[in-house]
Amino acid sequence: MTVATDNLLCTFAKDVLEGLSRKPKKLSSKYFYDDTGSGIFQEIMEMPEYYLTDCELEILQQQSGALHYALQYQEGFNIIELGAGDGAKTKEFLSYLVRQKVDITYVPVDISVKALEILEQDLSKEMRSLDIHPLAGDYFEVLEGYDFGNKPALFLFLGSNIGNYEQPEAIGLLKMIRNYMRSGDQLLIGFDLKKNPFTILNAYNDPHGITYRFNMNLLARMNRELGANFAIEQFDFYPFYDPRSGEVRSHLFSKIDQEVWIDSLGQYFHFQKNELIYTELSKKYGLEEIEHLAKQSGFVHKEHFLDSRNYFSDSLWVKE
């Protein structure tokens, strides 16, 4: 086991101890994305009910030229993608830039080493001239000390990832991203927009059971990595959506009154029948909310790039 892996496990164990000791119980959604969870999330993105992927893909397929024009970078630039995953949507923008012979360096950042390896292999085959520098780990740990050179940067935070954060946390995260940017650098950030409540709920409670597996993998991961003995079949998954706030909140819950032992923590945790474990927020935004969030975070909003159904926005902000 490497020092980095050992530290990650220690952090995981510490966060689980803190979360399961709370009332109500809570587990961080960032722990969904081990290699197994990242694989299941790829399945989610391919579901017909999960409109987010197709909407953002459409934006980058059809509006890459408009996005490049809006950047107003006269020469080459860096593209730093936070949470790159498989990079399927970003490939559309990268492909456009390569065809235009724009001098770009692509820096995908992701916690999953496996996802980055696959991404680098795919891009190296499809765009041999593309300069790629993948970084594995926590966004800010791996960016610390990274040499961006003299070129300006476009940071990407796509896929509605910002919707996973409570408002104060979202502002804090965006300010942290801003701290790594220089004056004139820009941020393209994905937002899922408010729409028909049933459309949203179906994306987070699919009939195929994929979202269920994604959530249950969090329990399985604790079994694998922390020596827990969660009986997966004795838990279930429940999401709900509030159209007024735009918040989808996801939970696991215990079907029975039970005790779970976590070996790495050396203790039992009691779960009452029907007790909830809060796991994830997926907030949906209005366009005015997005512009207000930019201002609160110290950015200047430049432009919204919307899909044809107005379901999703990739919004461009600049650090002045």
Q: pLDDT digits over 187-222, tens only?
A: 999 999 999 999 999 999 999 999 999 999 999 999
Given this model, what pLDDT does residue 35 score? 86
The domains located in the chain, with CATH, are 3-48+203-282 (no CATH), 63-193+285-318 (3.40.50.150)
- Cβ(162)–Cβ(189) below 8 Å: yes
CA distance 172 to 152: 23
- Measured between its terminal Cα atoms, the distance across the chain in Å is 43
Given this model, what pLDDT does residue 268 score? 97
Given this model, what pLDDT does residue 1 score? 42
> What are the C-alpha distances in Å from 317 to residues 181, 184, 204, 297?
12, 10, 28, 10
Given this model, what pLDDT does residue 3 score? 41
Given this model, what pLDDT does residue 7 score? 55
**What is the full per-residue pLDDT of the chain (320 aa) written as tens digits?**
444 445 556 889 999 999 999 999 999 998 998 889 989 988 998 999 999 999 999 999 999 999 999 999 988 999 999 999 888 899 999 999 999 999 999 999 998 888 899 999 999 999 999 999 999 988 888 888 788 889 999 999 999 999 999 999 999 999 999 999 999 999 999 999 999 999 999 999 999 999 999 999 999 999 999 999 999 999 999 999 999 999 999 999 999 999 999 999 999 999 999 999 999 999 999 999 999 999 999 999 999 999 999 999 999 999 99
Token duo for residue 227: 């020596």
CA distance 297 to 260: 41
CA distance 87 to 120: 9
Of 303, 100, 40, nearest to 186 (Cα)?
Answer: 303
Would you tell me how many other CB atoms lie within 10 Å of the CB of residue 282?
21
205 Cβ contact partners less than 8 Å away, ≥ 6 residues apart: 211, 239
Token duo for residue 44: 């989610």
Secondary structure class of 185 (helix, strand, coil): coil
Q: Partners of 98 in the beta sheet?
A: none
CA distance 300 to 320: 7
Angle subtended at Cα 204 by Cα 283 and Cα 254, rounded to the nearest 5 degrees? 100
Secondary structure class of 55 (helix, strand, coil): helix
164 Cβ contact partners less than 8 Å away, ≥ 6 residues apart: 29, 280, 281, 282, 283
CA distance 95 to 36: 28
Given this model, what pLDDT does residue 273 score? 98
**Secondary structure in 3-state letters for 244-298:** CCCEEEEEEEECCCEEEEEHHHCEEEEECCCCEEEEEEEECECHHHHHHHHHHCC
pTM check: above 0.85: yes
What is the tens place of the pLDDT at every residue in 155-166?
999 999 999 999
> What are the C-alpha distances in Å from 104 to residues 99, 131, 282?
11, 7, 32
Token duo for residue 24: 């109500």
DSSP for residue 209:
S
